[in-house]
Amino acid sequence: MARDARRKTNACRAVIAAAAYEGSIKMYEDIITVSTVTLRPMWGQKEQNLNRILGYMKAAKKKGSDLVVFPEMALTAYDDEAEKPLEQKMQYKLAETVPGPSTNKVAELAKELGLYVVMGMPIKDAQKPGTIYNGLAIFTPEGLAGDYHKMHLPAPEPNWATRGDKPFILDTPWGPIGCAICYDTYCFPELMDYYVAKGCRMYINSTALAHCHGRCLGDDTLRAQCIREGIFIVSSNLGGLDKDNYFWGGSSILGPSAKTWEPHYYAGMPFTAEGADEEAMYTATIDLSLATRFLYKHNPAVNGTDWRPEKYVGMFQDVLADKSFGK
């Protein structure tokens, strides 16, 4: 009798604990409609490019989108004039503070349309006017949410840009969304790991991936990340000829599929697909509940998560203490 009573008591406690745990988890909306744009901006023609961005925002809203994503440096185009000093470079001359003239116009339309927007642009540091970032301006239906500065800079970007040092998570009714730019995504998985560990079911990759980067870096990396992290990736790329570089295009909305260990293109196409370089907007309605984030959830078999940040901290500290690191 006493044993049965204890079993019933323990069972009741388990039910209460489970209910309390469920109640502590914030519930987000799952179904979201997203647009991503393959854009061929006119090099150095900021006003014309802004007008096109505003037009795509209106088109995305007509398709029922909640979020629209534009490529890296969409506002001005990407390519660098290596021979020119910083003050004469296009990116330096056209960079704006955030908020500024261009972001004010995007913010106004985002509020009018009730739209989330991510747009690549050169950003001028308001406190350090000579400092420029390769950045993202990020908007909500309430207006400007903030800006992200690219944390990792491949050549030739250090010719004009300064590295950022902070991640950016966009808070939405569909949960947190991580924002990153190109090289951040393809070569530094730590940033995506951080975002997904913090609860992001969607990751934004605003990119300028060109033919000079080869055929494997973009497609293979995004597909592997989608499988490894169990999330959706919204990627927006430049397409066609810039000033010098030819960009792959191939914007896409990629996510988990019904097949285990295989991603699915919900909209758009691989970077290297036939016709991927043509300017276009791709839209899909996706179910974020399919994002498992399995590496970051409790695994009873190991009494913890498969992802082990408490171990990685020590490993990174060991690297930083190694005097040969970075030599």
- What pLDDT digit, counting tens, does each position of 161-179 carry? 999 999 999 999 999 999 9
pLDDT at position 260 is 82
**Cα distance between the two ends of the chain:** 71
Query: 254 with 232: CB under 8 angstroms?
Result: yes
Q: Is the pLDDT of residue 17 over 70?
A: no
Query: 282 with 252: CB under 8 angstroms?
Result: yes
What percent of the chain is predicted at pLDDT more than 90? 91
| Residue 233 dihedral angles phi and psi, to the nearest 5° | -125, 125
Query: 134 with 153: CB under 8 angstroms?
Result: yes
Q: How many residues in the chain?
A: 327
Confidence of residue 25 (pLDDT cuts 50, 70, 90): low
Q: How far is the CA of 247 from the CAs of 13, 38, 77, 190, 237, in angstroms?
A: 59, 10, 11, 26, 8
Q: What is the mean pLDDT of the segment spanning 117-139? A: 97
For residues 295-318, b (16+ Cβ closer than 10 Å) or e, as one string? bbeeeeeeeebebeeeeeeeeeee
For residues 135-172, b (16+ Cβ closer than 10 Å) or e, as one string? bbbbbbbeebbbbbbbbbbeeebebbbbebeebbbbeb
Place of tokens 């390769």: 134
Segment among 4-13, 131-140, 160-169, 215-224 with least mean pLDDT: 4-13
Q: Select from 210, 138, 219 the least CA-distant residue to 176.
A: 138
Q: Tell me the pLDDT of the chain averaged across its residues.
A: 93
Segment among 20-24, 68-72, 232-236 with least mean pLDDT: 20-24
Q: What pTM does this model have?
A: 0.92
Confidence of residue 146 (pLDDT cuts 50, 70, 90): very high
Edge-first strand order for the sheet with 252-256 is 168-170, 177-181, 202-207, 232-237, 252-256, 263-268
Q: What is the mean pLDDT of the segment spanning 92-115? A: 98
Omega before 85 within 30 of 0, i.e. cis = no
Q: What is the mean pLDDT of the segment spanning 25-53? A: 96
Please give the domain boundaries of the chain with CATH numbers for all domains.
Answer: 27-298 (3.60.110.10)
CA 219, 116, 201, 133: dihedral to nearest 10 degrees? 60
Confidence of residue 51 (pLDDT cuts 50, 70, 90): very high
